[in-house]
Amino acid sequence: MQTGRLVAGQLDPSLQLETMQLETMQLESVLLRWVNIGEISPTAKHWLVADLLTHRSCLEALGIAAANAPDVVEQQLQQLLQVWSRVQSFCWQQLQWQTCPMATLWRLWLPLANWIQQRWQQHPPLFVQGILGGQGTGKSTLAALLAVILSQWGLRVCRLSIDDLYLTYAERLQLQAQDPRLKWRGPPGTHDIQLGLHVLRQLRSPHPHQPIQIPRFDKSLHHGAGDRTQSEVISAADIVLFEGWFVGLKPIDPQRFENAPPPILTERDRQFAKDNNDRLAAYLPLWEQLDSLIVLQPQDYRLSQQWRRQAEQQMTASGRSGMQDAEIDEFVEYFWRSLHPELFIPALLQQPGAVDLVIEVQPDHTPGRVYRPQT
């Protein structure tokens, strides 16, 4: 196997992409042989170490470096045997993917799951991992896959979405009557913050004979308006994966809205943005329950619009009803007017200790650079 590597910037971009694709195919071939027939040569192991070190700009943030790369390879090979069947089934059955991306599992999901497990070991008995990501960034998918992996390692994992904390349908109708601008669920003010605090505090201090009710939200109820549904009952958890489109965001200086990017254009838009910024302050006690925060950051926030269109087109192609492009644009821009990613994400990344890890999301939804913010 070839172990040589090419330095980024010395090749034509198209040749760099072709090289990366070939490396990914080679990686998947080696790992599939391992999980299917249990064979891997010493040469293949050396190549896996070299592959990890080639991507060390991403993996150093997860604690992988030249000194421990051989041990990491040995550990992840054994872990891969533990989780592969379950992860593959989840990708096929739950996510409806045609293939399970072995390279992403090896290069990101396993290292990230190990990183979370290590941090739980440092902060027992409960570790609350926040995952912040805009529409289409894959935050729910990432949380689900991490839950599958960590559960296979014997950890009790609770998934919680900011969506699960929405006010009931009746409560949101009352809210709309008070403020017609809140025509869709999602912005600050449409959640039951006290419910979230109650659940997380229960999880931190569980009682042996008192089950914990984890709220769940069904977006299909009331013709898509959604409503709270039957809670999930658990006894305890080791790790909570708390994800959402503004989990961890903090209010910014109101002066920033005077020169805000589109679609915050009019005085009415600016007032709506300022009001949401004010309402965001009420969520700070909820964010204080987080032990760590991961940010999924697309290369361009406007990709959310493209990804949403692709999702709706797939729904239409499968015979289900989906939104038209104009409806998608209105829906996505509503969220941008609420908490614009160009204003809030950079501000969050600049706050010391606010974010532990950033995972860039490329236009094809594959993960890019993984790094720790420099503050």
Q: Which residues are CB-neighbours of 76 under 8 A, at least 6 positions away? A: 106, 110, 111, 114
Which residue is it, tokens 């987080």? 290
For residue range 89-110, what is the model confidence (pLDDT) as tens digits?
999 999 989 999 999 999 999 9
Q: pLDDT class for 24, splitting at 50, 70, 90?
A: confident
Give me the pLDDT at residue 20, please.
54
For residue range 245-286, what is the model confidence (pLDDT) as tens digits?
999 999 999 999 999 999 999 999 999 999 999 999 999 999
% of the chain beyond a pLDDT of 90: 76
- Which backbone phi and psi does 324 adopt, to 5 degrees? -80, 165
Does residue 13 register a pLDDT over 70?
Answer: no
Give me the pLDDT at residue 280, please.
98
Give me the pLDDT at residue 315, please.
67
Q: Which of 153-162, 164-173, 306-315 has the lowest mean pLDDT?
A: 306-315
Cα–Cα distance, 119 to 291 (Å, whole number)? 9
For residue range 190-203, what is the model confidence (pLDDT) as tens digits?
999 999 999 999 99
> How much is the mean pLDDT over the chain?
90
Give me the pLDDT at residue 16, please.
46
Tell me 106's DSSP state. Answer: I
Give me the pLDDT at residue 255, please.
96
Angle, alpha carbons 138-62-64 (nearest 5°): 135
Between helices 69-89 and 13-37, what is the axis angle to 10°? 80
The one-letter amino acid at 105: L
The model's pTM: 0.92
Residues 273, 246: contact at Cβ < 8 Å?
A: no
Does residue 2 register a pLDDT over 60?
Answer: no
Give me the pLDDT at residue 198, please.
97
DSSP tally for the chain: helices H, then strands E: 14, 8
Q: Which domains does the chain have, with CATH numbers?
A: 107-371 (3.40.50.300)
Q: Compute and round to an integer the Cα radius of gyration of the chain.
A: 22
Q: Which of 26-40, 139-153, 321-335, 358-372 has the lowest mean pLDDT?
A: 321-335
Tell which wins on pLDDT, 16 or 101: 101
Burial status of residue 3 (CB atoms within 10 A of its CB: 0-12, 13-18, 19 or more): exposed
Give me the pLDDT at residue 9, please.
43
Cα–Cα distance, 70 to 65 (Å, whole number)? 9
3-class secondary-structure state, position 323: coil
